[in-house]
Structures are given as C-alpha cells and as structure tokens.
Amino acid sequence: MIPAPFLLYLGRSSDPLAIKTSRGVAQFRREDCVGEFRHDECPQTLGLPRLGMREAAEAGARTLILGIAGAGGRLGDDLIEDSAAALEAGMNVASGLHQRLRDQPRLATLARERSLNLFDVRDPPANLKVGTGYARAGRRLLTVGTDCSVGKMYATIALTRRLRESGAAADFRATGQTGILVAGGGVAVDAVVADFISGAIEQLAPARDDRGWDVIEGQGSLFHPSFAGVSLGLLHGAQPEALVICDEPGRSHMRGIPGRPLPDLAECIERNLEAARLTSPEVRAAGICLNTSAMDRQAALRLCAATEDRLGLPCTDPIAFGVERIVDKLLCHEPSSLSTFASR
C-alpha cells in the first residue's frame, strides 16, 4: 500500500485531462490529500492547498503522487527534478507513468539513502497467464467508452458504490493508474504484454459464487487507433454480463488525434457488444454514463433524457445525477429491459 497522506502533483500542466490522475485521487480519496504541488505557470487546481515539497512534508504528507498523464507516459526532466525535491523533503514518490521511477539513477539513489520508496504503479503482476475465455462463475460489469478519458473510472466507482448501498456485494476492479491509486490495488492493463491482457483480467476478476459483482474499469476505446487493442483484451478477459457505455458530449475529435471524430453512441454500443460476445455470448448493454461536467444542469438533464429515448437504455451522469436507475435494472434481473438496444 502507498502511504498516505498524499501531495498531488500538477506540475506545469495546462491540459485539464493531463491531470486526471491527481483529480481522480482528489475526488475519491480527498481525506487522504494534504495539498497540491504546482508551478506558477500551471493554471489548473484541485481546490487543495498549494504547498511546496517541504511545506507538504511538514504538513504530514508521506507520498508525492505524480498524478499527470502525457502521451507515452514519459518522465520528463521537470518530473525527475520535482520528484528528487520530494525525496529530499522526506516523502516517498508514486507514479503511474510508463517510464519507471526506479530506472532513474538519481531518484533510486536518493530513495535508498533516505530509506524511502519509489512506487511504480504500472508494474504488472508477475506470472500472468494467457486468457482462455472459458466460462467462469460470477457477475461482471465492464465500462467501455467512445474515447479515452471520458469518465469510465468515475462511472465504475459510482456503480460499485451504488451496488453496495443497495445491499449487493460489489468490488471495484481497477485497470489504470488512477483507479489503482484510488483502490489501492489492481492491474495496469496497458502495461501488460499484449498476449496476457485477457488473462490479466481473468486473474483480476476470478470466479466468484456469492452472487456479487466485479465492476471492472474499462480503458481506451475500440474506436481509438492507439488503444483499441487494450480495450479489446479487456472485453474478452472480463467476460461481462453487462456493459455500461461512457461518453463525453461535445468532443470534437478523438483524444490526441485531431480530425478523427468520435463514434455515434449507437455504433459504439453495437461494436462493443459484438466484440464481447466472443467470450460472453449473453452480454447486454445496461446503461449509458455521460460526462456532462462542461454543461449546465438543465442541458445535461435534457441530453440524458434524449439519449435514453433514442437508445432505450437508462442514461445519466454518474457524478451529477447518480447511477441508481442503472443499478436498479441490474439488480432486478430483467434481461429484456437490459438488452432493449441489443435486440433492435
């Protein structure tokens, strides 16, 4: 476990999506966050106290979380310099980037000299096996998306919490750096060798016989040329009985690929169901979660209602409006109502 309390790193990020890991930790583990670290030119904030490294350590922070995500997941010079400052102030450092903290000689030396730890969240488990696709007991839900960073983790956590509030056993299964930092464990599926992706998810959500749910965090999108392979492996390894589709209205193009439009929701639902049927023939679409954070409340409500009417599935913003209606459908065991779209 990564020692809390945390100092959340924003660095010099100008892109709100680039700080999604720090934002996710602040959203779901705010009680464990002492403050945020950002340089003067950074326009982003999480509404936490702005602290320097030594100020944060004096305030009780035990770990600096490098909660930013850029293309390729590389540790730039700024991140190395700021991580070194955190170690010198007496804090551990945790990172979900693809480049490993432990591979930076300066950081490794500082951590060793000060008896501190470097946590590389994207390290996959050892001894993974290839997936088999064999049927296994248990109830599983997977979130999928029209694009990257559209709110799959937020929806997954909201669904898990609502299932528990409704009296069902439910476990959030994290598959990305932010989710792992929130949950305290999981598999960073985009760091797994391709042959083992589906097997990693079979291992993450093994057979269970308590009628409880494994609510599995999706990654990427089948429609994103850069990350569709990870998305497909998740679909096959999860063997979900239900999918929840996530989308951020108003995006002009796929993240990082100007000129490539997002898919229509109807097409996204059908293609994900089609792919999932390889290992879960009875899979159904259970609902739609929209990230309407950039919209006013009434416009968001109208869009959710219109989307629901068009596709015949419960549609909501999981943070603004909750996920009760999706969960009610799951717990009522109404296959026909869950598969309205798929049967059209």
What is the pLDDT confidence band of residue 15, given thresholds at 50, 70 and 90?
confident
Q: State the average pLDDT over residues 169-181.
A: 95
Q: 261, 224 in Cβ contact below 8 A? A: no
Q: Would you state the pLDDT for residue 71?
A: 55
Q: 286, 313 in Cβ contact below 8 A? A: yes
Q: Would you state the pLDDT for residue 333?
A: 55
Q: Which residues contact 102 (CB under 8 A, 6 or more apart)?
A: 108, 118, 120
CA atoms within 13 A on the CB side of 279: 24
Q: State the average pLDDT over residues 21-27.
A: 93
What is the pLDDT confidence band of residue 330, given thresholds at 50, 70 and 90?
very high
22 three-class SS: helix
Q: Would you state the pLDDT for residue 14?
A: 87
Residue labelled with tokens 């999506």: 17
What is the pLDDT confidence band of residue 315, given thresholds at 50, 70 and 90?
very high
Q: Is the pLDDT of residue 83 over 70?
A: yes
Q: Is the pLDDT of residue 162 over 80?
A: yes
Task: Compute φ and ψ for 247, nearest 5 degrees.
Answer: -155, 150
Q: Is the pLDDT of residue 34 over 90?
A: yes
Q: State the average pLDDT over residues 42-53.
A: 96
For 108-138, the pLDDT digits (tens) are 999 999 999 999 998 888 889 999 999 999 9
What is the pLDDT confidence band of residue 342, given thresholds at 50, 70 and 90?
very low
Domains of the chain, CATH where assigned? 6-120 (3.40.50.720), 139-338 (3.40.50.300)
* Structure token pair of residue 85: 């400052």
Q: Is the pLDDT of residue 334 over 60?
A: no
Q: 94, 65 in Cβ contact below 8 A? A: yes
Query: Which of 274, 309, 260 shows the shortest CA–CA distance to 288?
Result: 309
Q: Would you state the pLDDT for residue 75?
A: 80
What is the pLDDT confidence band of residue 338, given thresholds at 50, 70 and 90?
very low
CB atoms within 10 A of CB 237: 29
Burial of 264 (C-beta count, 10 Å sphere; 0-12/13-18/19+): exposed
What is the pLDDT confidence band of residue 335, given thresholds at 50, 70 and 90?
very low
The pTM (predicted TM-score) of the whole model is 0.88
